């Protein structure tokens, strides 16, 4: 085979490959052009610029609002730690085993384990009410086993944190 003929065949093959690639690129460019024409037909050039600027301003405002909301959430979480949101009631018999469980201790606490215990001891002759303050899980007066149970059950679960 003649070397000139071989070079000619290779050049024709390269030219055909070039035509195929060019055709593919032109088809893709034509699709992009049609999409661009559709978008431009939807928007007038002046309106498009205004809409983009408006969107940019709203996006900036949204970022500021998100930052403000994040600060608010942090403040609310801190404030919530001091709110009494855990309550538990323990009923028991203070007078003896033959009586009904009419006595009670109510434990009210927050995440800081500060709170209050309200105890009502019912006897045949009447009711005695006691209030005890709790700070960091410790009462200002010694706590009975029922009061300790009321406080321990009203504490925040460690899994929740």
- Whether residues 142 and 91 fall in one domain: yes
- Per the structure, the complete domain to which residue 62 belongs is given by 37-80
Q: Where is 88: in which H helix or E strand? A: strand 86-92
The answer as to whether 8 is a domain residue is no
Looking at residue 99, what is its pLDDT?
Answer: 66
- CB-based contact 113:136 (threshold 8 Å): yes
The number of distinct structural domains making up the chain is 2
Domain closes at, from 80, 113, 143? 80
Euclidean distance between CA atoms 82 and 158, whole angstroms: 16
Looking at residue 109, what is its pLDDT?
Answer: 86
- Whether residues 105 and 141 fall in one domain: yes
Intervals of the chain under pLDDT 70: 1, 43-46, 96-99, 153-161
List C-alpha distances in Å: 67 to 56, 61, 81, 149.
Answer: 17, 10, 22, 42
- Whether residues 107 and 148 fall in one domain: yes
Euclidean distance between CA atoms 118 and 120, whole angstroms: 7
Q: Which of 32, 161, 148 is nearest to 90 (CA)?
A: 148
- Whether residues 152 and 125 fall in one domain: yes
Give residue 75's Cα distance to chain centre: 15
Looking at residue 44, what is its pLDDT?
Answer: 61
- Whether residues 58 and 119 fall in one domain: no
């Amino acid at each position: 085979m003649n070397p000139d003929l071989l070079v000619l065949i290779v050049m024709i093959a390269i030219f055909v490959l070039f035509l195929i690639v060019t055709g593919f690129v032109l088809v893709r460019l034509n699709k992009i052009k049609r999409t661009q024409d559709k978008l431009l037909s939807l928007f007038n050039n002046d309106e498009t610029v205004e809409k983009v600027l408006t969107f940019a301003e709203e996006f900036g405002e949204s970022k500021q609002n998100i930052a403000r909301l994040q600060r608010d959430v942090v403040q609310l979480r801190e404030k919530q730690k001091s709110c009494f949101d855990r309550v538990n009631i323990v009923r028991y018999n203070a007078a003896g085993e033959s009586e009904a469980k009419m006595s009670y201790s109510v434990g009210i606490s927050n995440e800081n384990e500060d709170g209050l215990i309200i105890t009502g001891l019912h006897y045949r002759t009447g009711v005695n009410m006691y209030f005890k303050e709790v700070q960091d899980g410790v009462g200002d007066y010694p706590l009975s086993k029922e009061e300790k149970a009321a406080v321990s059950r009203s504490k925040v679960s460690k899994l929740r944190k």
